[in-house]
A and B are shown apart, each in its own frame.
Chain A
Protein backbone atom coordinates (compact mmCIF):
# COMPACT_ATOMS: atom_id res chain seq x y z
CA UNK A 1 0.00 0.00 0.00
CA UNK A 2 1.11 3.54 -0.66
CA UNK A 3 1.04 6.53 1.64
CA UNK A 4 1.92 10.19 1.26
CA UNK A 5 3.21 12.55 3.94
CA UNK A 6 3.21 16.28 3.43
CA UNK A 7 5.57 17.51 6.07
CA UNK A 8 4.15 21.01 6.52
CA UNK A 9 0.47 21.68 7.07
CA UNK A 10 0.90 25.44 6.66
CA UNK A 11 3.60 27.49 4.97
CA UNK A 12 3.50 31.28 5.31
CA UNK A 13 5.77 33.20 2.96
CA UNK A 14 6.22 36.75 1.72
CA UNK A 15 5.54 37.70 -1.87
CA UNK A 16 8.53 37.22 -4.23
CA UNK A 17 10.26 34.89 -1.75
CA UNK A 18 11.14 31.31 -2.71
CA UNK A 19 9.09 28.43 -1.34
CA UNK A 20 9.46 24.68 -0.94
CA UNK A 21 6.56 22.37 -0.08
CA UNK A 22 7.75 18.99 1.08
CA UNK A 23 6.32 15.61 0.15
CA UNK A 24 7.52 12.13 1.09
CA UNK A 25 5.90 8.91 0.00
CA UNK A 26 6.01 5.28 0.97
CA UNK A 27 5.43 2.47 -1.49
CA UNK A 28 6.56 -1.08 -2.12
CA UNK A 29 6.18 -0.57 -5.88
CA UNK A 30 7.16 2.12 -8.35
CA UNK A 31 4.80 5.05 -8.47
CA UNK A 32 3.78 8.05 -10.48
CA UNK A 33 3.91 11.32 -8.54
CA UNK A 34 1.72 14.40 -8.81
CA UNK A 35 1.22 17.82 -7.33
CA UNK A 36 -2.24 19.39 -7.50
CA UNK A 37 -3.41 22.84 -6.41
CA UNK A 38 -6.84 23.64 -4.99
CA UNK A 39 -8.16 27.19 -4.72
CA UNK A 40 -11.00 27.89 -2.24
CA UNK A 41 -14.23 26.12 -3.16
CA UNK A 42 -12.69 24.80 -6.35
CA UNK A 43 -11.69 21.43 -7.71
CA UNK A 44 -8.13 20.20 -8.10
CA UNK A 45 -5.82 21.39 -10.86
CA UNK A 46 -2.73 19.48 -11.90
CA UNK A 47 0.48 21.46 -11.38
CA UNK A 48 2.96 18.84 -12.53
CA UNK A 49 3.64 15.13 -12.67
CA UNK A 50 6.54 12.70 -12.65
CA UNK A 51 6.05 9.56 -14.71
CA UNK A 52 9.60 8.70 -15.80
CA UNK A 53 12.73 10.28 -17.25
CA UNK A 54 14.27 13.45 -15.88
CA UNK A 55 13.89 13.76 -12.15
CA UNK A 56 13.37 17.53 -12.38
CA UNK A 57 9.87 18.24 -13.54
CA UNK A 58 8.56 21.64 -14.56
CA UNK A 59 4.89 22.50 -14.26
CA UNK A 60 2.50 25.36 -14.67
CA UNK A 61 2.67 28.75 -12.94
CA UNK A 62 6.47 28.55 -12.53
CA UNK A 63 6.45 25.53 -10.20
CA UNK A 64 8.90 22.65 -10.39
CA UNK A 65 9.52 19.49 -8.42
CA UNK A 66 12.37 17.04 -8.05
CA UNK A 67 11.89 13.31 -7.69
CA UNK A 68 14.43 11.74 -5.32
CA UNK A 69 14.05 7.97 -5.35
CA UNK A 70 16.57 7.27 -2.59
CA UNK A 71 14.83 9.69 -0.23
CA UNK A 72 11.35 8.85 -1.57
CA UNK A 73 10.62 12.55 -1.87
CA UNK A 74 8.95 14.81 -4.40
CA UNK A 75 9.32 18.36 -3.09
CA UNK A 76 7.62 21.25 -4.87
CA UNK A 77 9.46 24.54 -5.37
CA UNK A 78 8.94 27.99 -6.79
CA UNK A 79 11.71 30.60 -6.86
CA UNK A 80 9.42 33.60 -6.43
CA UNK A 81 5.81 33.37 -5.26
CA UNK A 82 2.88 35.68 -5.97
CA UNK A 83 -0.17 36.53 -3.91
CA UNK A 84 -2.19 34.48 -6.39
CA UNK A 85 -0.30 31.33 -5.38
CA UNK A 86 -2.17 31.31 -2.07
CA UNK A 87 -3.98 27.96 -2.12
CA UNK A 88 -3.95 24.39 -0.83
CA UNK A 89 -1.37 22.11 -2.42
CA UNK A 90 -1.69 18.34 -2.51
CA UNK A 91 0.90 15.70 -3.28
CA UNK A 92 -0.41 12.38 -4.64
CA UNK A 93 0.90 9.05 -5.90
CA UNK A 94 -0.52 6.28 -8.03
CA UNK A 95 0.67 2.74 -8.55
CA UNK A 96 2.84 2.47 -11.67
CA UNK A 97 1.81 -1.10 -12.36
CA UNK A 98 -1.81 -0.92 -11.32
CA UNK A 99 -4.63 -0.65 -13.78
CA UNK A 100 -6.95 1.71 -11.95
CA UNK A 101 -4.57 4.65 -11.49
CA UNK A 102 -6.39 5.79 -8.33
CA UNK A 103 -4.58 8.52 -6.47
CA UNK A 104 -3.41 8.31 -2.86
CA UNK A 105 -3.20 11.78 -1.35
CA UNK A 106 -1.36 13.67 1.32
CA UNK A 107 -3.25 15.88 3.76
CA UNK A 108 -2.30 19.03 1.93
CA UNK A 109 -0.15 22.09 2.60
CA UNK A 110 -1.78 25.47 2.91
CA UNK A 111 0.42 28.10 1.26
CA UNK A 112 -0.27 31.65 2.40
CA UNK A 113 1.55 34.36 0.45
CA UNK A 114 1.64 37.67 2.28
CA UNK A 115 2.41 41.09 0.76
Chain B
Protein backbone atom coordinates (compact mmCIF):
# COMPACT_ATOMS: atom_id res chain seq x y z
CA UNK B 1 0.00 0.00 0.00
CA UNK B 2 1.77 3.10 -1.24
CA UNK B 3 -0.86 5.65 -0.26
CA UNK B 4 -2.70 8.07 -2.52
CA UNK B 5 -0.54 9.18 -5.44
CA UNK B 6 -1.05 12.36 -7.45
CA UNK B 7 0.66 13.37 -10.64
CA UNK B 8 2.11 15.83 -11.43
CA UNK B 9 3.15 17.47 -8.16
CA UNK B 10 3.51 20.82 -9.83
CA UNK B 11 2.09 22.26 -13.05
CA UNK B 12 2.68 25.68 -14.57
CA UNK B 13 0.49 26.52 -17.52
CA UNK B 14 -0.45 29.51 -19.58
CA UNK B 15 -3.91 30.99 -19.30
CA UNK B 16 -6.27 29.36 -21.76
CA UNK B 17 -4.48 26.01 -21.88
CA UNK B 18 -6.02 22.73 -20.77
CA UNK B 19 -4.51 20.70 -17.94
CA UNK B 20 -5.18 17.22 -16.63
CA UNK B 21 -4.26 15.80 -13.24
CA UNK B 22 -4.22 12.18 -12.19
CA UNK B 23 -4.97 10.55 -8.85
CA UNK B 24 -4.27 6.93 -7.96
CA UNK B 25 -6.15 6.03 -4.77
CA UNK B 26 -5.23 3.41 -2.25
CA UNK B 27 -6.12 0.07 -3.78
CA UNK B 28 -9.58 -1.23 -2.87
CA UNK B 29 -10.72 2.19 -1.70
CA UNK B 30 -14.10 2.66 -3.33
CA UNK B 31 -14.53 6.35 -2.52
CA UNK B 32 -12.51 9.11 -4.17
CA UNK B 33 -12.68 12.85 -3.55
CA UNK B 34 -11.22 15.94 -5.18
CA UNK B 35 -10.69 19.11 -3.15
CA UNK B 36 -9.19 22.48 -4.05
CA UNK B 37 -7.11 24.53 -1.64
CA UNK B 38 -6.06 28.13 -2.27
CA UNK B 39 -3.40 29.93 -0.30
CA UNK B 40 -4.39 30.63 3.27
CA UNK B 41 -7.65 28.71 2.98
CA UNK B 42 -8.95 25.33 3.99
CA UNK B 43 -9.71 22.76 1.31
CA UNK B 44 -13.01 23.04 -0.58
CA UNK B 45 -14.92 20.02 -1.81
CA UNK B 46 -15.10 19.67 -5.58
CA UNK B 47 -16.46 16.24 -6.40
CA UNK B 48 -16.93 12.70 -5.13
CA UNK B 49 -16.90 9.26 -6.75
CA UNK B 50 -18.14 5.99 -5.38
CA UNK B 51 -16.47 3.38 -7.57
CA UNK B 52 -16.86 4.74 -11.11
CA UNK B 53 -19.98 6.80 -10.42
CA UNK B 54 -19.63 10.53 -9.87
CA UNK B 55 -22.25 11.07 -7.17
CA UNK B 56 -21.76 14.69 -6.21
CA UNK B 57 -20.32 17.83 -7.76
CA UNK B 58 -19.86 21.14 -6.01
CA UNK B 59 -21.14 24.27 -7.66
CA UNK B 60 -17.47 25.33 -7.53
CA UNK B 61 -16.94 22.86 -10.36
CA UNK B 62 -17.75 25.01 -13.37
CA UNK B 63 -18.36 23.54 -16.80
CA UNK B 64 -14.64 24.00 -17.53
CA UNK B 65 -13.90 21.28 -14.99
CA UNK B 66 -14.53 17.61 -15.61
CA UNK B 67 -13.58 14.57 -13.57
CA UNK B 68 -13.66 10.90 -14.41
CA UNK B 69 -12.94 7.64 -12.69
CA UNK B 70 -13.06 4.94 -15.34
CA UNK B 71 -13.32 1.42 -13.97
CA UNK B 72 -13.44 2.76 -10.44
CA UNK B 73 -9.67 2.93 -10.05
CA UNK B 74 -7.61 6.05 -10.86
CA UNK B 75 -9.27 9.40 -11.46
CA UNK B 76 -8.49 12.37 -13.67
CA UNK B 77 -9.43 16.00 -13.20
CA UNK B 78 -9.32 18.17 -16.33
CA UNK B 79 -9.53 21.93 -16.42
CA UNK B 80 -10.21 23.46 -19.82
CA UNK B 81 -9.32 27.02 -20.79
CA UNK B 82 -7.51 27.66 -17.51
CA UNK B 83 -7.86 31.01 -15.79
CA UNK B 84 -5.61 32.64 -13.21
CA UNK B 85 -8.26 32.00 -10.58
CA UNK B 86 -7.75 28.27 -11.09
CA UNK B 87 -4.31 28.52 -9.47
CA UNK B 88 -4.52 26.35 -6.38
CA UNK B 89 -3.49 23.07 -4.81
CA UNK B 90 -5.70 20.23 -6.05
CA UNK B 91 -5.99 17.47 -3.48
CA UNK B 92 -7.22 13.94 -4.00
CA UNK B 93 -8.37 11.68 -1.19
CA UNK B 94 -9.67 8.13 -1.00
CA UNK B 95 -11.47 6.07 1.60
CA UNK B 96 -13.06 2.67 2.06
CA UNK B 97 -16.77 2.75 2.74
CA UNK B 98 -17.22 5.23 5.57
CA UNK B 99 -13.73 5.23 7.03
CA UNK B 100 -11.57 8.31 7.20
CA UNK B 101 -10.11 9.77 4.03
CA UNK B 102 -6.43 9.53 3.14
CA UNK B 103 -4.95 12.38 1.13
CA UNK B 104 -2.34 12.54 -1.60
CA UNK B 105 0.45 15.13 -1.73
CA UNK B 106 -1.56 17.34 -4.04
CA UNK B 107 -0.94 18.95 -7.42
CA UNK B 108 -0.03 22.61 -7.27
CA UNK B 109 -1.32 24.44 -10.34
CA UNK B 110 -0.01 27.85 -11.33
CA UNK B 111 -1.71 29.63 -14.22
CA UNK B 112 0.37 32.46 -15.67
Q: Which residues of A are in contact with B by a Cβ distance under 8 Å?
A: 4, 34, 36, 41-46, 49, 90, 92, 99-108
**Majority secondary structure of chain B interface residues (helix, strand, loop or mixed):** strand
Residues from chain A with Cβ under 8 Å of B91 in the complex: 43-44
Q: How far is the CA of A42 from the CA of B55 in the complex (A)?
A: 27
- Contact count A vs B, C-beta below 8 Å: 56
Interface string of B57-75 (1 = CB under 8 A from A): 0000000000000000000
Are B106 and A43 in contact, CB atoms less than 8 angstroms apart? yes
Distance of A48 from chain B, by nearest CB (Å): 10
Residues from chain A with Cβ under 8 Å of B48 in the complex: 100, 102
Is B51 an interface residue, CB under 8 A from the partner? no
Query: With A101-B98, A102-B48 as given contacts, are A45 and B103 in contact (CB-CB < 8 Å)?
Result: yes
Residues from chain A with Cβ under 8 Å of B56 in the complex: 100, 102
